[in-house]
């Protein structure tokens, strides 16, 4: 009978060893799966970090393109303002010449007879009207030219920014 209990004990010992071995195998498989998940997470995190770095670089490039377009537009505005100043100087000289012509016309009036004076007065009125219209047209054209140039510069700057942002990363 000793052998019966001994056989039963050996059987229970084998079953216990088998059960512990099975759990150990399961924990090994779980460990391998956890390791694979950790590697996968690390790979995906590396991808996220690289994508964020690429996005920051692209945003920096776009910002640089935008700043460069702004600087170019500011330089063009300054050049246009100096050109407008030169145009104002020319317009001032033309106005001075017009005033001198009026004075010469007025001084030549004094030496004519009455009929010629009336004709000259009529011509003077027409001359003044035309000179006034010319001056108004010149002023309006100057103002429109300044505004048109501002809008042109703004459009060019906007287009440069759009093209710079749209073109993607530049190869250096």
- pLDDT for 11-70, tens place per residue? 777 666 666 555 555 566 777 787 778 777 777 778 778 888 888 888 888 888 888 888
Higher pLDDT, 74 or 26: 74
pLDDT tens figures, 145-163: 888 888 988 888 888 888 8
Of 81, 70, 73, residue with least CA distance to 153: 73
Q: How far apart are CA 11 and CA 17, in angstroms?
A: 10
pLDDT tens figures, 122-134: 888 888 888 888 8
Please name the residues in contact with 126: beta carbons below 8 A apart, sequence gap of 6 or more: none
Confidence at 88, pLDDT banded by 50, 70, 90? confident
CB 171 within 8 A of CB 87: no
What pLDDT score does 26 carry? 53
pTM for this prediction:
0.42
What pLDDT score does 172 carry? 43
* Residue 4: pLDDT over 50: yes
Higher pLDDT, 169 or 73: 73
3-state secondary structure 91-119: HHHHHHHHHHHHHHHHHHHCCCCHHHHHH
Mean pLDDT, to the nearest integer, of 91-110?
74
What pLDDT score does 79 carry? 83
* Residue 139: pLDDT over 70: yes
Question: In a 3-state reduction of DSSP, which class is residue 13?
Answer: helix
């Amino acid at each position: 009978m000793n052998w019966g209990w001994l056989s039963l004990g050996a059987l229970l010992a084998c079953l216990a060893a088998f059960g512990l071995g099975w759990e150990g195998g399961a924990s090994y498989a779980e460990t391998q799966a956890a390791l694979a998940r950790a590697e996968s997470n690390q790979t995906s995190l590396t991808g996220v970090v690289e994508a964020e770095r690429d996005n920051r670089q692209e945003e920096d490039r776009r910002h640089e393109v935008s700043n460069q377009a702004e600087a170019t537009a500011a330089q063009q505005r300054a050049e246009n303002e100096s050109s407008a100043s030169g145009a104002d100087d020319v317009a001032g000289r033309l106005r001075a010449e017009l005033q001198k012509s009026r004075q010469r016309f007025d001084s030549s009036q004094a030496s004519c007879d009455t009929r010629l004076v009336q004709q000259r007065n009529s011509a003077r009125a027409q001359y003044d009207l035309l000179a006034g219209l010319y001056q108004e047209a010149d002023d309006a054209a100057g103002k429109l030219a300044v505004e048109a140039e501002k809008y042109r510069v703004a459009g060019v700057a906007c287009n440069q920014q759009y093209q710079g942002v749209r073109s993607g990363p530049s190869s250096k």
